[in-house]
A and B are shown apart, each in its own frame.
Chain A
Amino acid sequence: MKKYLLDLRVKSVERIHERYVLIKLTDDKPLPEMLPGQFVEVRVDGSPATFLRRPISINFVDRERNELWLLVATIGDGTRRLAVLTQGDILNCLLPLGNGFTPAKVGERVLLIGGGVGVAPLLYMGAEMQKTGIEPTFLLGARTAKDLLLTNIFNMYGRVYVTTEDGSEGEKGFVTNHSILQQEHFDRISTCGPTPMMKAVARLARDRGIDCEASLENLMACGLGACLCCVEKTTEGNLCVCKDGPVFNISRLLWE
């Protein structure tokens, strides 16, 4: 897929949680082709303590409105600077990067499991699946009810099941505890979220013989597979999360 370096224009920045903002971007030209699971390397201007671009997954693409959505966890100087962008500001983006999730096939029962800000790329994945006539099932986990992100939007694209660690919404516990995993059979799982969560999902998938892929997040510099900083050890040696990933089938990862 062709890569572009674009000065995108900020349409809106919405603080949806004390730790998260939803940034909607647009361009004068139609946005380029991009796949669910791919990401964007965002240049942060006006942040003296930071230097490199920030890799942010593609949360959603609205072709009619020509919008690209980025769900950003404001956890450091760079991301906090992104949170104070306003309408009309320019955000220079290198996109689309990475390999993306495996497209779903008609008839396949696909479960999209996410936690924390890791839910972000699953929204675009589910939306694209729905377009091809496949209904996605989302299983989203958070510590507590207020940490569940964009659930009303997820609901527009498929069935949504939720877990919270304190039981304040949905089923109590981790995503791997949810009853849907006992009640229904799935052909494939795509997961994105904190590494311990993804490892637990991978364990479950392996035990049940369910094909599973995980979206990793390693520290990156170039985002293009050139500098070899973001490598993950796999069955094929060190591979770049930015180019050979971020999505890897769990059979290639050296988890456990």
Chain B
Amino acid sequence: MADLSVKIKDLALKNPVMTASGTFGYGLEFADLMPLDGIGGIIVKGTTLKPREGNDYPRMAETACGMLNCVGLQNKGVDYFCEHIYPQIKDIDTNMIVNVSGSSPEDYAECAARIDALEKIPAIELNISCPNVKDGGMAFGVTCAGASSVVKAVRQAYHKTLIVKLSPNVTDISEIARAVEAEGADSVSLINTLMGMAIDIERRKTLLSINTGGLSGPAVKPVALRMVWQVAKAVRIPVVGLGGICSAKDAIEFLMAGATAIEIGTANFLDPAISIKVRDGISDWLDSHGCQSVQEIIGVI
């Protein structure tokens, strides 16, 4: 049996498979369907300083090989998380990682600081694809300046493993990756969703309440893979790859492209137990190819 363990700075993962924020709730929703302790980490729903209602319904539209969503970070806020959700999830035997979002660097930092105090949360994943309410709603993560400002503020407030989730809706994602690395990010995860849209031709309206939304699923995989490969060459910190991963083969492509770990998101909707199957598939592949450890294939492309 090949060794599947990987490390993201000080964060030790029993295997490189994690579940992506916004697709796996807080893990508990899937407890009947798969062993939560079987994967390397669960990245829970995006958490903000204050509660957010999110966008109006409809929040999703199916597409060929994927889906669009505009959920809008609905969550009950970090205080509710700390008081009510954390106690329920802290003893799940895997890395429980909190995804953090915000509308200003100060909000991000304050939210991160409160999560820093939670003993059993070893890492946060920073969602910088949120619109900057002060900058006309442009996402922090689409400019180096915006991305840097958030990471800089959070790095001062947060002392454990800091993963920064990058937006692909940029001209040069490597540039953004380098900027956040310079501000002290321990790792970058990519990609977040690609901006897209869908129209109901009979009703002559867009299918999403806010017209545009994020595309995810197999449709985005080639873009995500390309970006992971580019970013892995541009930074020294470990890269976490996600975007359309539905199988062990997909996951191995990302590992070979330079990802130290991967996240599975939309595929959870097709098969709630997919992350376990991907873990087993990676293990089988390594065994059948004479590899002693997953490290042998990371970044070989």
Q: Let me know if A51 and B64 touch, CB within 8 A.
A: yes
Q: Is B293 an interface residue (CB 8 A)?
A: no
Q: Let me know if A226 and B30 touch, CB within 8 A.
A: yes
Residues of B100-119 contacting chain A, CB below 8 A: none
User: Measured between C-beta atoms, what is the minimum distance from A159 to chain B in Å?
Assistant: 36
Q: Is A91 an interface residue (CB 8 A)?
A: no
Q: Let me know if A229 and B71 touch, CB within 8 A.
A: yes
Q: Let me know if B24 and A231 touch, CB within 8 A.
A: no
Q: Let me know if B269 and A52 touch, CB within 8 A.
A: yes
Residues of B80-127 contacting chain A, CB below 8 A: none
Q: Which one of A133-141, A173-181, A214-222 contacts B? A: A214-222
Measured CA separation A222–B29 after assembly (Å) = 10
Q: Let me know if B67 and A5 touch, CB within 8 A.
A: no
User: Measured between C-beta atoms, what is the minimum distance from A48 to chain B in Å?
Assistant: 8
Q: Let me know if A94 and B57 touch, CB within 8 A.
A: no
User: In which size bucket is the chain A interface?
Assistant: 20 to 34
Q: Is B296 an interface residue (CB 8 A)?
A: no
Q: Let me know if B64 and A49 touch, CB within 8 A.
A: yes
Q: Is A2 an interface residue (CB 8 A)?
A: yes
Q: Let me know if A227 and B57 touch, CB within 8 A.
A: no
Q: Let me know if B270 and A227 touch, CB within 8 A.
A: no
A-B contact count (CB 8 A): 96
Q: Let me know if A224 and B30 touch, CB within 8 A.
A: yes
Q: Give every chain A residue within 8 A of B217 (Cβ-Cβ).
A: 51
Q: Let me know if B25 and A219 touch, CB within 8 A.
A: no
Q: Is B22 an interface residue (CB 8 A)?
A: yes
Q: Let me know if A229 and B272 touch, CB within 8 A.
A: no
User: Measured between C-beta atoms, what is the minimum distance from A101 to chain B in Å?
Assistant: 22
Partner of B62, one of A5, A52, A223: A52
Measured CA separation A53–B58 after assembly (Å) = 17
Of listed A2, A48, A227, residue having the most chain B CB within 10 A: A227
Of chain B, the residue at the smallest CB distance from A78 is B62
Residues of A201-256 contacting chain B, CB below 8 A: 218-233, 237-238, 243
User: Measured between C-beta atoms, what is the minimum distance from A113 to chain B in Å?
Assistant: 24
Measured CA separation A49–B69 after assembly (Å) = 18
User: Measured between C-beta atoms, what is the minimum distance from A156 to chain B in Å?
Assistant: 33
Instruction: Decide: A229 near B25, CB < 8 A? Known: A53-B269, A238-B54.
Output: no
User: Measured between C-beta atoms, what is the minimum distance from A32 to chain B in Å?
Assistant: 10
Q: Give every chain A residue within 8 A of B54 (Cβ-Cβ).
A: 228, 231, 238
Measured CA separation A43–B33 after assembly (Å) = 15
User: Measured between C-beta atoms, what is the minimum distance from A127 to chain B in Å?
Assistant: 26
Of chain A, the residue at the smallest CB distance from B46 is A228
Partner of A226, one of B25, B63, B67: B25
Measured CA separation A33–B228 after assembly (Å) = 44
Q: Let me know if B25 and A225 touch, CB within 8 A.
A: yes
Q: Let me know if A226 and B65 touch, CB within 8 A.
A: no
Q: Let me know if B60 and A219 touch, CB within 8 A.
A: yes
Of chain B, the residue at the smallest CB distance from A43 is B270
Q: Give every chain A residue within 8 A of B62 (Cβ-Cβ).
A: 50-52
Instruction: Decide: A222 near B74, CB < 8 A? Known: A3-B32, A43-B270, A94-B272.
Output: no
Q: Let me know if A222 and B60 touch, CB within 8 A.
A: no
Q: Give every chain B residue within 8 A of A221 (Cβ-Cβ).
A: 60, 67, 69, 266, 269
Measured CA separation A219–B63 after assembly (Å) = 13
Give B residues with C-beta under 8 Å from A.
22-25, 29-30, 32-33, 45, 53-54, 56-67, 69, 71, 74, 217, 266, 268-273
Give A residues with C-beta under 8 Å from B.
2-5, 43, 48-53, 94, 218-233, 237-238, 243
Apart from A226-B29, A231-B57, 6 more pairs, CB < 8 Å:
A5-B273, A51-B270, A222-B269, A223-B269, A227-B23, A227-B60
Q: Which 4 pairs of residues, A with B, have the shortest CB-CB distance? A: A226-B25, A229-B60, A3-B32, A226-B29
